[in-house]
Amino acid sequence: MAEMKHARRIVLVTGGGLGIGRAACEAFARSGDHVIVTDVLEEEGRALAEKIAKEGGSAEFAPLDVRSTEAADALVARLNKEHGHVDVIVANAGIAHRVPLGELSDEKWDHTFDIDLKGMLRVIRPAVPAMRTTGAGAIVCLSSIMGVAYGWDEHVHYSAAKSGVVGLVRGLAVELAGHGIRVNGVAPGYIRTAQLLSEKHSLGPEGAEKAASFIPMGRLGEPEDIADVIHFLASPAARYLTGQVLTVDGGLLVGRY
């Protein structure tokens, strides 16, 4: 499965069982890294780790609910003990539930923020001390075009959380730059994932195809289109890049007049 040769890194991916997270796990595995696939979806996460191993890569599955500080701390502590430190974190786990403002209770708001924003902090925070000691590390957080440019009808909590990811990236980047740790983000556009194709919470299949018609590149993105950018941001090729959130949307934002 080898692609480009570099020292084997320890890569922790949250929400690795499906969609963009899954594609990211595969991208890092192809380049010879050891991938820790984490998810609340045990069946999907385990199957992916097994698939990577079967194809000659290196991976393990670790169940993780990013709402649990205790679970995140314990996982990172174990990885630090076994490997010395985590080299790369891909903070990808997230939800996007359609909730009209009139039904947006404190609990529903908090649920989205707990996963989509605080869930990132819970995994990053315990990993940083060992990264600092090593003087190296790369963190990539997933935002959204709904966090950098668009509002999203009946998804106020999601848009707000994904905007928060931009602030998280900037703040962490400045605080950690002097320790050799880079922090960047990706804001995907319309990507063909189970989330996007959900009629209940997102565009649904028909809406997704309509969206493709006004994307300048003429198609929806694929999870691999985002995974390759995540991989780049965590690579030595992006060594002088930190604090940025790259929009990857097939020209959608620049092409809407």
pLDDT digits (tens, 9 = 90+) for 39-77: 999 999 999 999 999 999 999 999 999 999 999 999 999
Instruction: Quote the tokens at residue 127.
Output: 């990993």
DSSP H or E run through 24: helix 19-30
What predicted TM-score, i.e. pTM, was given to this entire model?
0.95
Q: In DSSP terms, which residues pair with 34 in a beta bridge?
A: 10, 58
- Return the closest-CA partner of residue 158 out of 93, 104, 112, 111: 112
| pLDDT recorded at residue 200 | 67
| pLDDT recorded at residue 201 | 62
Question: Does the pLDDT at position 7 exceed 70?
Answer: yes
Q: Which of 150, 158, 190, 240 is catalytic?
A: 158
| pLDDT recorded at residue 211 | 82
Question: Does the pLDDT at position 4 exceed 80?
Answer: no
Say how far apart CA 161 and CA 238 lie, in whole Å: 26
Task: Supply the CATH classification number for the domain 10-247.
Answer: 3.40.50.720
pLDDT per residue as tens digits for the range 76-109: 999 999 999 999 999 999 999 999 999 999 999 9
Query: Of 59 and 198, which is predicted with more confidence?
Result: 59
Say how far apart CA 38 and CA 61 lie, in whole Å: 6
Q: Are strands 88-91 and 58-63 parallel, antiparallel or unpaired?
A: unpaired
Q: Quick one: pLDDT band at residue 198, thresholds 50, 70, 90?
A: low
Q: Quick one: pLDDT band at residue 199, thresholds 50, 70, 90?
A: low
**158 assigned to active site:** yes
| pLDDT recorded at residue 142 | 98
Each domain of the chain, given as residue ranges in start order, spans 10-247
The set of residues, in sequence order, having a beta carbon less than 8 Å from that of 56 and lying 6+ positions away, is 1
